[in-house]
Amino acid sequence: MIPKAAIERIIRKAGVDRISAEAIEELQKTTEELALELARDAAEVAKHAKRKTITEEDIKLISGK
Protein backbone atom coordinates (compact mmCIF):
# COMPACT_ATOMS: atom_id res chain seq x y z
CA MET A 1 0.00 0.00 0.00
CA ILE A 2 1.28 3.44 -0.89
CA PRO A 3 1.31 5.68 2.20
CA LYS A 4 -1.14 8.59 2.24
CA ALA A 5 1.77 10.93 2.99
CA ALA A 6 3.39 9.96 -0.31
CA ILE A 7 0.15 10.62 -2.17
CA GLU A 8 -0.17 14.01 -0.46
CA ARG A 9 3.38 14.91 -1.56
CA ILE A 10 2.51 14.03 -5.15
CA ILE A 11 -0.61 16.18 -4.93
CA ARG A 12 1.37 19.13 -3.56
CA LYS A 13 3.96 18.73 -6.35
CA ALA A 14 1.05 19.09 -8.78
CA GLY A 15 0.31 22.48 -7.23
CA VAL A 16 -2.84 21.51 -5.33
CA ASP A 17 -3.26 23.13 -1.91
CA ARG A 18 -6.50 21.50 -0.78
CA ILE A 19 -7.94 18.06 -1.41
CA SER A 20 -10.58 16.04 0.41
CA ALA A 21 -9.73 12.91 2.37
CA GLU A 22 -11.95 10.94 0.01
CA ALA A 23 -10.04 12.23 -3.02
CA ILE A 24 -6.73 11.26 -1.41
CA GLU A 25 -8.05 7.74 -0.76
CA GLU A 26 -9.30 7.41 -4.34
CA LEU A 27 -6.00 8.67 -5.76
CA GLN A 28 -4.16 6.24 -3.47
CA LYS A 29 -6.28 3.34 -4.72
CA THR A 30 -5.94 4.35 -8.38
CA THR A 31 -2.18 4.86 -8.08
CA GLU A 32 -1.77 1.41 -6.54
CA GLU A 33 -3.84 -0.17 -9.32
CA LEU A 34 -1.82 1.59 -12.02
CA ALA A 35 1.48 0.60 -10.40
CA LEU A 36 0.35 -3.02 -10.20
CA GLU A 37 -0.68 -2.98 -13.86
CA LEU A 38 2.67 -1.46 -14.88
CA ALA A 39 4.56 -4.05 -12.83
CA ARG A 40 2.64 -6.91 -14.44
CA ASP A 41 3.26 -5.52 -17.92
CA ALA A 42 6.95 -5.01 -17.15
CA ALA A 43 7.18 -8.58 -15.88
CA GLU A 44 5.74 -9.80 -19.18
CA VAL A 45 8.30 -7.75 -21.12
CA ALA A 46 11.13 -9.20 -19.03
CA LYS A 47 9.76 -12.71 -19.45
CA HIS A 48 9.53 -12.22 -23.22
CA ALA A 49 13.20 -11.15 -23.18
CA LYS A 50 13.97 -14.35 -21.23
CA ARG A 51 14.88 -12.43 -18.07
CA LYS A 52 13.59 -12.64 -14.53
CA THR A 53 14.61 -9.11 -13.62
CA ILE A 54 12.55 -6.07 -14.59
CA THR A 55 14.82 -3.30 -15.83
CA GLU A 56 14.43 0.45 -16.09
CA GLU A 57 14.15 0.01 -19.85
CA ASP A 58 11.18 -2.34 -19.39
CA ILE A 59 9.37 0.32 -17.39
CA LYS A 60 10.20 3.00 -19.94
CA LEU A 61 9.02 0.76 -22.77
CA ILE A 62 5.62 0.04 -21.28
CA SER A 63 5.08 3.60 -20.07
CA GLY A 64 5.85 5.04 -23.49
CA LYS A 65 8.89 7.06 -22.45
Read off the CATH number of the domain in which 24 is found: 1.10.20.10
Which residues constitute the domain of residue 29? 4-63
Block means of pLDDT (10 residues each) for the chain, 65 residues, are: 93 94 96 96 97 96 88
Q: What pLDDT shows up at residue 65? A: 78
> How wide is the angle at C-alpha 31 spanned by C-alphas 48 and 42, nearest 5°?
5
- To the question of pTM greater than 0.85 for the whole model, the response is no
Number of domains in the chain: 1
In the chain, the N- to C-terminal Cα span, in Å, equals 25
